[in-house]
Amino acid sequence: MRKTKRFKEDARYRVANREALIGLVLVMINFALWFGFAYGLGSKPVEEYSYIWGLPAWFFYSCIASTVLVVVLVMLAVKFLYKEVSFEEEDEE
C-alpha cells in the first residue's frame, strides 16, 4: 500500500503507539524481575534458603517485592508518560 498522503494521519495515534510500546517495556521489566529473583535465588538447595517475613527469599522478591515494584512503575508511567487524549470525533464531516 502506498501512502499517498492525501490526508494527515490521526495525530492521536502517535500517543497510542508510544503507550503500547511502554506497555511492552513494562512487561519485559516485570518478566525479568519475576524470573531473575525466582530462579536466581530459588535454584539452590532448600536448606540454603534465606527467609524474609517467614517466606523463602526467592518468593518474597519475585512474587511480592516485584509485584509492588511493578505497580509503582505502572503508576509512574501513567503519571508521567501516558497522555490524555480526547476520544471525541474531532471534525465530523
Partner 1 sequence: MNGEVIIPLLLFLMIIFFVGFYASKHIRSTSNFLQEYFLGSRQLGGFILAMTMTATYGSASSFVGGPGVAYTMGLGWVLLSMSQLATGYFVLSVLGKKFAIMARKIRAVTLIDFLKERYQSKWVVILSAASIIIFLFSAMAAQWVGGARLIESLTGLSYTTALFIFAVSVLVYVIIGGFRAVAITDTIQGVVMFVGTLVILIGTIIAGGGIGNIISDLTAENPALISPFGSDQSLTPLYVSSFWVLVGVGVVGLPQVAVRAMSYKNSRGMHKALIIGTIVVGFIMLGMHLTGVFARSVLPGIEVGDTVMPKIAMEVLPNWLAGIVLAAPMAAIMSTVDSLLLLVSSAVVKDVYLNYVKPEADDQTIKRFSISVTAIIGVLVFAMAVKPPELLIWLNLFSFGGLEAAFIWPVIMGLYWQKGNASGALASIITGVGSYILFHSLMPNAFGMHTVVLPVILSLMAYVSVSLVTLRHHQEVQAEVYEKLWSA
The per-residue DSSP string of 33-82 comes to HHHHHHHHHHSS-GGG--EETTEEHHHIIIIIIHHHHHHHHHHHHHHHT-
Q: Which of residues 58-87 bind partner 1 (CB under 8 A)?
A: 58-59, 62-64, 67, 70-71, 74-75, 78, 82-87
- 8 Å CB contact between 56 and 49: yes
Q: Which of residues 24-53 bind partner 1 (CB under 8 A)?
A: 24, 26-27, 30-31, 34-35, 38-39, 42-43, 46-47, 49, 51, 53
- 8 Å CB contact between 57 and 65: no
Q: Which residues bind partner 1 (CB under 8 A)?
A: 1-4, 6-13, 15-17, 19-20, 22-24, 26-27, 30-31, 34-35, 38-39, 42-43, 46-47, 49, 51, 53-56, 58-59, 62-64, 67, 70-71, 74-75, 78, 82-90
